[in-house]
Amino acid sequence: MVRKSLLTTAAVVAVGSLALAGCSGGSAPADGAETDTINAELWYAPATFDPAKASATSDRTIARLGFDTLLRQGDTEALVGGLATEWESTSASEYSFTIRDDATCADGTAITPSVIAASFEYLTGLEDSGAQTWKAQAFGTGEATFTADDEAGTLDVSLSEPYSQLLYGVTGSGTGIICPAGLEDTEGLAAGTVEGAFSGPYTLTDSTAGVSATYSLRDDYDAWPAWETVEGEPAATINLTVQPDSNTSANLLESGGVDVARFYDSNALRFEEDDSYSVVSFASSAYNLVFNQSPGSGSVFEGNPELRAAVAQAIDPQGFNNAGLDGLGVEQFTVNSASYNCALEEPSLLHDYDPAAASELLTGQNIRLLIMSNWDPAADYLAESLRAAGATVEVSAPDPADWTKQMRTEPGTWDVAVAAENAESGLIHLSIARYLGPTYAEGGTNVAYTDNPEGVEFYEAGMNAADSETQCENFLAAQETILEDTAMMPLITDTHRYVARDGFATYVLSGYWDISAMRIVG
């Protein structure tokens, strides 16, 4: 079965390691004609146009087009201004932002500190699991209070619990500012029908559910981040079509049917030696097996670390790499990519591939495997590996929205799941929190439903550490407890490539690809 895509769908958009990546450009549209349009692709249809509820990659991508954030990741600097022109922290609990005085919503409403505060209050007040993830990323585990002074042009953020990563957290697309019109009509906001909701450079002007979306550049927009290496002109129109098949994407790119396309597999290699195309690459997803330990869920892995270890012995990460990524992924030793700050890199903590030993415990076991749709060869590889070790395997492959919902809030539906943790940049504490502490039902982000007080203690010590060395020491110790418990199994970190044909440019900024930085060049 042909693999359609392996897509990053982790709810967490992590930011922070800030290793600079290269930029790409082109010379002129391939056919020599002038254009003001960029045609690009999404692997999956967006589930929502509400940035606060964005979970899957497609949701996060379109949120970046329509909604500006307080800060952005830079290309030559760690952070650059978005809606904020200045920012400072007097402690890990107190932050202040000066808001630019010329930003407006798509309906002309001024984006004041009060507008931003109202948007953040909406985000932090939602019980939606996607919003809980964005809240944790931006403001930590405590409560956030927003104090707006429209006359002074400032927004102060006070946290009940110290959180040293807030400045990077508010660069995430899910923290995009929703304008008053959107907050007044949240159903229309989610459907993308409230033009005045948009605070970013583009507005959604047309969409066909599951097929396509068209974004138009606002005539009055002048709030681009101060990127130094981004060259060219923003497109007046961005047409996005849903295309899950990588082979088709490559053919369309070669024929001019699309201008920019993303690849996870060897199709990208067709363009790397051709001067008619430019290619940027970045670590996109860290693929992990997550073992469900939720009490009362019926999971065979609850309270059974030996059985979890047996599954880890039955699966060869390189086989998963070959099946899902054409062998282009790189080794992974912990909850996320080795490129992250404070990432544990200790192979001895991982279980050796030993299917014969695994079969002693797996024979006769019934295992429910949850994986996202369109991951067919990777799903087949995992299922057949477990079956070869004697297990009976039931595979469930829902769409991204249902996959996310089941992982986070329906532990009774699965035993082991494949999770794709965002690997584009480096707040590793967000990945650690997927396996420690409170679950989504409890206001946290623990999708493994573990009970690991030792790991939680290390994690909290890292979060409260005043210096980076102490922070890393504790985060490394927390990761060790996760691996020793076999709460998860690292599989592989993939490398994605964005390819632009002549006349178009696309950029990787501080480790992540930003759709709003696509440009027409020539």
Confidence of residue 425 (pLDDT cuts 50, 70, 90): low
Q: Hey, what amino acid is at 162? A: P
Q: Hey, what amino acid is at 350? A: L
- The CA distance from 108 to 111, in Å, is 9
The pLDDT of residue 9 is 31
- Say which residue the tokens 């006769």 belong to: 364
Identify the DSSP state of 54: -
State the DSSP H helix or E strand holding residue 58, giving kind and residue range, or none if neither. Answer: helix 57-66
pLDDT at 76 over 70: yes
The pLDDT of residue 16 is 31
Dihedral of alpha carbons 138, 144, 148, 152, sign: negative
Average pLDDT over residues 12-17: 30
Write the pLDDT tens digit of every residue in 114-158.
999 999 999 999 999 889 889 988 998 889 999 999 999 999 999
* Beta-bridge partners for 495: 283
Structure tokens at 388: 């070869």
Write the pLDDT tens digit of every residue in 446-497.
999 999 999 999 998 988 776 778 989 999 999 999 999 999 999 999 888 8
Average pLDDT over residues 431-443: 92
Identify the DSSP state of 201: S
pLDDT at 164 over 90: no
Write the pLDDT tens digit of every residue in 207-236.
998 899 999 999 999 999 999 999 999 999
Taking a C-beta distance cutoff of 8 angstroms, is the pair 10, 422 a contact? yes
Q: What is the mean pLDDT of the chain?
A: 89
pLDDT at 25 over 80: no
pLDDT at 10 over 60: no
Identify the DSSP state of 138: H
- The CA distance from 318 to 308, in Å, is 19
Task: Pick left, alpha or beta for residue 500 (phi over 0 → left; psi -120 to 50 → alpha; otherwise beta).
Answer: beta
Q: How many CB atoms lie within 10 A of CB 216?
A: 17
Q: How far is CA 452 from CA 96, 138, 424, 427, 486, in A?
A: 35, 24, 27, 21, 11
Confidence of residue 28 (pLDDT cuts 50, 70, 90): very low
The pLDDT of residue 424 is 66
Taking a C-beta distance cutoff of 8 angstroms, is the pair 131, 53 a contact? yes
Class of domain 48-212: alpha beta
Taking a C-beta distance cutoff of 8 angstroms, is the pair 398, 134 a contact? no
pTM comes to 0.75
* Beta-bridge partners for 40: 240
pLDDT at 201 over 90: yes
- Say which residue the tokens 């409560």 belong to: 143
The pLDDT of residue 130 is 86
- The CA distance from 134 to 113, in Å, is 20
Task: Pick left, alpha or beta for residue 364 (phi over 0 → left; psi -120 to 50 → alpha; otherwise beta).
Answer: left
Extents of the domains making up the chain: 48-212
Give the closest residue to 503 by CA, choosing from 518, 485, 487. Answer: 518
pLDDT at 281 over 80: yes
The pLDDT of residue 389 is 97
pLDDT at 404 over 90: no
State the DSSP H helix or E strand holding residue 155, giving kind and residue range, or none if neither. Answer: strand 154-159
Structure tokens at 520: 């027409």
- The CA distance from 505 to 278, in Å, is 8
pLDDT at 199 over 80: yes
Torsion angle, CA of 293/482/309/491, rounded to 10 degrees? 100
Name 304's Cβ contacts closer than 8 Å, sequence gap at least 6. none
The pLDDT of residue 159 is 96
Average pLDDT over residues 293-315: 97
